[in-house]
């Protein structure tokens, strides 16, 4: 039996009740199969057995007191998945759906993504089932401080460097960083996505969305296309969705739809991004408020964006938000390119539909790697005690995304799967980590 298949089955059996973790392992290991099975040194060294088992999982209690004086308790997680090529690196997610399966799926994906950036960063992820929605600023601060009161002993600038993800932005990073500093009496770049006033990097806030558009632009240009004059739909309206929309607009594309977990907006004249920023970043409101700014736009409750006619689709909200049926609808409506800003937004069925159709498809671990790549640039600046200009960081980000595109395109070609960037990204990401593990012996 194939080594890869055997380990996939074993890993699924060993980790029951973790559907998202099973899904990401299935996608990655099944595409790696021909590459890994033809190289017996990987089996001999037990590379896949080790890769699918996190180096360390930390789970903890987060007690905090709400505005009514009531004690609340949430679950906290940090999965330190793989440090073969550098300190664990990956975001923290605060969302009621967060559980071990989701943190492990994100941590596993992060190993390969971080490898693809070319930066020396390992894979990790964490978070909590805390829901920041509707909480006061004081409640969010109390929660973040309690979260860090346990997490601080497990992380460090050379050990594990968390950042933001869903529900964790500049505000939450600030509260957690302040608590880390107070507990350790140590000023170090232990988190990324920090404010510019205390060690943050220019472009980090925009990096995931900008990087996504840089990579998709690269993919389009290699196929004789561009964003100029194209109709684009974006799901979500958070950090990644907003910065992706901004960059598409700068490149001459027309973004006509965005969404949140309640519904979607459609604005044929092109999304007014200042309005979305005010609703989401200033008021922390709902996307339905968009109609107050643009009365001619349509808001549809309970609907996602995938049935809106477009040339290019950028899913930027969450995992499994785009089904096989949605994929078929997109293709039927003429969509010819998809770039994943979110982590695993397309289901396995949707990915299959995209690959069969031969449309351009950029998988998340390559397309959204600009965020963590810029986090690594933030770490470099912190170690050097310096700060680079916006233009310098943006230039580096653009270069990193172009390198990622070239590496995944080359790896796909070498595997006789030209244009299949899932295969390309998985092989290119895997190879560096596996080689580092081989060279480091039994660890």
Binding site for ligand NDP (CB under 6 A): 164-167, 169, 208, 236-241, 260-262, 316-318, 321, 341-343, 368, 371
Per partner kind, with CB cut-offs from 5 to 8 A, the member of ligand NDP, ligand 2IT, none near residue 342 is ligand NDP
Q: How far is the CB of 199 from ligand 2IT (least distance, A)?
A: 14
91 binds ligand 2IT (CB under 6 A): yes
Count of residues of this chain found to bind ligand 2IT when the rule CB under 6 A is applied: 11
Q: Which is nearer to ligand 2IT, 126 or 253 (CB)?
A: 126
Taking a C-beta distance cutoff of 8 angstroms, is the pair 24, 108 a contact?
Answer: yes
HSE (side-chain half, CA atoms, 13 Å) at 269: 7
Q: Which residues contact 377 (CB under 8 A, 6 or more apart)?
A: 119, 201, 204, 388, 393, 396, 397
- Whole-number minimum distance, CB 89 to ligand NDP, in Å? 11
Place of tokens 């409750």: 301
Q: Which does 192 bind (CB under 5 to 8 A by kind): ligand 2IT, ligand NDP, none?
A: ligand 2IT
Q: Residue 230 binds which one of ligand NDP, ligand 2IT, none, with CB within 5 to 8 A depending on kind?
A: none
Residue 378 backbone zone (phi > 0: left; psi -120 to 50: alpha; other: beta): alpha
Q: Write the binding mask 180 to 199 for ligand 2IT: x where contact by CB under 6 A, - elsewhere.
A: ------------x-------
> Least Å distance between CB 115 and ligand 2IT?
12
Q: Which is nearer to ligand NDP, 20 or 260 (CB)?
A: 260
Closest listed residue to residue 355, CA positions, set 397, 321, 386, 327: 327
Of 125, 280, 365, 431, which is the active-site residue? Answer: 125
Q: At its nearest, how many Å lie between ligand NDP and the CB of residue 298?
A: 18
Contact by Cβ (8 Å): 332, 326: no
Question: Does residue 321 interact with ligand 2IT by CB under 6 A?
Answer: no
What's the distance, CA 35 to chain centroid? 25
Nearest to 192 by CA among 215, 165, 153, 212: 165
> What minimum distance in Å lies between the beta carbon of 208 and ligand NDP?
4
Q: Give the chain's length.
A: 443
Strands 298-301 and 263-266, by their bridges, are antiparallel
Q: Is 340 in the site for ligand 2IT (CB under 6 A)?
A: no
Q: Of 376, 371, 305, which Cα lies nearest the Cα of 335?
A: 305
Integer Cα distance of 299 and 274 in angstroms: 17
Nearer residue to ligand 2IT within complex by CB, 64 or 152: 152
| Whether 125 is catalytic | yes
- The answer to whether 350 and 315 are in contact (CB under 8 A) is no
Binder of residue 239, out of ligand NDP, ligand 2IT, none (CB less than 5 to 8 A by kind): ligand NDP
Q: Give me 435's structure tokens.
A: 């080689």
Site residues, ligand 2IT (CB under 6 A): 89-91, 113, 163, 165, 192, 343, 371-372, 375
């Amino acid at each position: 039996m194939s080594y890869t298949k055997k380990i996939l089955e074993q890993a699924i059996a060993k980790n029951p009740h973790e559907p998202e973790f099973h899904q990401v392992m299935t996608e990655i290991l099944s595409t790696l199969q021909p590459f890994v099975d033809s190289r017996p040194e990987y089996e001999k060294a037990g590379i896949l057995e080790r890769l699918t088992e996190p180096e360390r999982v930390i789970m903890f209690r987060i007690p905090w007191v709400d505005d009514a004086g009531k004690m609340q308790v949430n679950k906290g997680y940090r999965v330190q998945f793989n440090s073969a090529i550098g300190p664990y690196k990956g975001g923290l997610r605060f969302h009621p759906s967060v559980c071990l399966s989701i943190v492990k799926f994100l941590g596993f994906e992060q190993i390969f993504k971080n490898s693809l950036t070319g930066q020396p960063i390992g894979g990790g992820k964490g978070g909590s089932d805390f829901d920041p929605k509707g909480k006061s600023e004081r409640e969010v601060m109390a929660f973040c401080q309690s979260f860090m009161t346990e997490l601080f002993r497990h992380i460090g600038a050379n050990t594990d460097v968390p950042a933001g993800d869903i529900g964790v932005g500049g505000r939450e990073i600030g509260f957690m960083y302040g608590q880390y500093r107070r507990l350790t009496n140590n000023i170090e770049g232990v988190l990324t996505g920090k404010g510019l006033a205390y060690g943050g990097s220019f472009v980090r806030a925009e990096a995931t969305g900008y990087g996504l558009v840089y990579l998709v632009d690269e993919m389009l240009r290699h196929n004789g296309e561009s964003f100029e004059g194209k109709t684009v739909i974006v799901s979500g309206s958070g950090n990644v969705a907003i910065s992706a929309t901004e960059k598409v607009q700068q490149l001459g594309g027309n973004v006509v739809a965005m969404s949140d977990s309640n519904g979607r907006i459609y604005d044929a004249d092109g999304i007014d991004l200042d309005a979305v920023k005010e609703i989401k970043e200033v008021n922390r409101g709902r996307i339905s408020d968009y109609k107050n700014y643009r009365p001619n736009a349509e808001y549809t409750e309970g609907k996602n964006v995938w049935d809106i006619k477009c040339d290019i689709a950028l899913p930027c909200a969450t995992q499994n938000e785009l089904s096989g049926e949605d994929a078929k609808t997109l293709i039927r409506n003429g969509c010819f390119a998809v770039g994943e800003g979110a982590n695993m937004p397309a289901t396995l069925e949707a990915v299959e539909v995209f690959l069969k159709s031969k449309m351009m498809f950029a998988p998340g671990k390559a397309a959204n790697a600009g965020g963590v790549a810029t986090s690594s640039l933030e770490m470099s600046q912190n170690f050097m005690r310096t700060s680079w200009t916006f233009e310098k960081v943006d230039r580096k980000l653009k270069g990193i995304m172009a390198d990622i595109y070239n590496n995944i395109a080359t790896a796909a070609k070498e595997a006789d799967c030209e244009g299949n960037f899932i295969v390309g990204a998985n092989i290119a990401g895997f190879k560096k980590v596996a080689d580092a593990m081989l060279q480091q012996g039994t660890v």
